[in-house]
Structure 1
């Protein structure tokens, strides 16, 4: 089984992006923690059904050169919805099934971060395909025995999630191979688009 796990909003200016989201949605985001050696940290917002938004930015407490930060975080720019993740219960089996269906999600590797309470959040993920095909192809995450990061988060509603691509058929094939349920429409350029809503506001992320 697969399900939406989380969306990643890449934020070169993390504090400013978090403030923009909190002001637009009328809700406080939760500090997620730091990714050791990656040079990043995050803030989280629950989206219901054990899904969440990860706002990812540079961690100034780590000495990682800007050029080595993932998702283009070392370059000035606007926040951008760069990729998304599917939650699976056996990542190795899902990778094998996807490869048999004609799409290779990549080799799973262990990822971890330290949460604000000093605990370790760990899972196995396939390589995120940030910005490739507009971030439309998700990576896979298997949390194993780690409690899911969406528990106890402030919550908003994921009102819509869809994508655009000028040549959508090959992307649809790859999405089917990993059992990803994403509405894909023909558009002038690849893009992943999400609408997040609370009673106090609504924002579209792309």
Structure 2
């Protein structure tokens, strides 16, 4: 039996006020159009995806995500969407400044065990939910940690945890011509964040002291680009 891959960066999350704005941002900023994504009935969101070449994360990709207009999440009423998408302050920033990097997701071999490990450190990463969406290749299934209030934690620097089923979405994504050269994190309590990442098996993720932020350095057809969260 093949062992599951170790914990690693899975994808970067770029939030947009609307998906159309996210696509336009991607074309203007990165020089390419994002590939198809899908709809998430559980949260009433939809996305577009773009594969990233990355030496240390072979399945890395960029997700552009937005609330789907007129969609009612199938999640129980009163629970918030993932990635703080229901947060008025985040939506105000997106309206004023446009799409931006807000979060990252780490894939782990056992999402239930990893969530418990964070809980032992005092981080309530939320319950593990089963999610899915249809694709041309079949039903894509995964398990993901999402808090009832939708919060990202530590200003987005502490990753959401995901465990994919038999298929990873990046397997069906064509090369985009974009490479992720580096991805770094900062936080006022850098040792606390580093300890949490060490516990998850993500010790190689660079963490620096400073304001809570995520920074991705990309090589694109339009030259080097830096994506930095504005939290």
Q: What is the TM-score with the length of structure 2 in the denominator?
A: 0.76
In the alignment, the residues of structure 1 paired with residue 14 and residue 191 of structure 2 have an alpha-carbon distance, to the nearest angstrom, of: 25
Distance 1:29 1:61 in 2: 23
- The answer to whether the 8 A contact 2:21-2:99 is kept is no
Which residue pairs with 2:7 in the alignment? 2
Tell whether the 8 Å contact from 1:102 to 1:174 is kept in structure 2 after alignment. no
Secondary structure at the aligned position of 1:193 is classed as strand
1:90 shift after superposition: 2.5
1:72 equivalent to 2:94? Answer no
Seen in structure 2, the aligned counterparts of structure 1 residues 100 and 139 have a Cα distance that, compared at 3 Å, is same
Kindly state the Cα deviation for residue 101 of structure 1 after the two structures are TM-superposed. Answer: 6.5
Q: Distance in 1 between matches of 2:111 and 2:21?
A: 35
TM-score (norm 1): 0.84
- Structure 1: distance between partners of 2:80 and 2:200: 29
CA distance in 2, matches of 1:104, 1:68: 15
Q: Which residue of 2 aligns with 1:133?
A: 154
Distance 1:112 1:47, change over 3 A: same
The 5 Å alignment of 1:7-86 reads 7-48=12-53, 49-60=58-69, 62-63=71-72, 69-70=81-82, 71-72=84-85, 75-76=91-92, 77=94, 78-86=98-106
How many residues align? The count is: 202
**Equivalent residue number for residue 179 of structure 1:** 201
The DSSP-based 3-state class of the residue aligned with 2:194 is helix
Q: Secondary structure at the match of 2:47?
A: strand
Q: Which of the pair is proportionally richer in strand?
A: 1
Aligned runs of 1:133-172 on 2, under 5 Å?
A: 133-145=154-166, 147-153=167-173, 154-155=175-176, 156-172=178-194
- 2: CA distance, partners of 1:68 / 1:125: 15
1:122 aligns to 2:141 (yes or no):
yes
Report if aligned partners of 1:102, 1:177 keep a CA contact under 8 Å in 2: no
SS in structure 2 opposite 1:150? helix
Where does residue 127 of structure 2 map in the other structure? 107
Partner-residue secondary structure (3-state), 1:151: helix
Q: Tell me how far apart the structure 1 counterparts of residues 125 and 85 of structure 2 sit (CA, whole Å).
A: 21
Is the contact made by 2:38 and 2:48 (CA closer than 8 Å) also made in structure 1?
yes
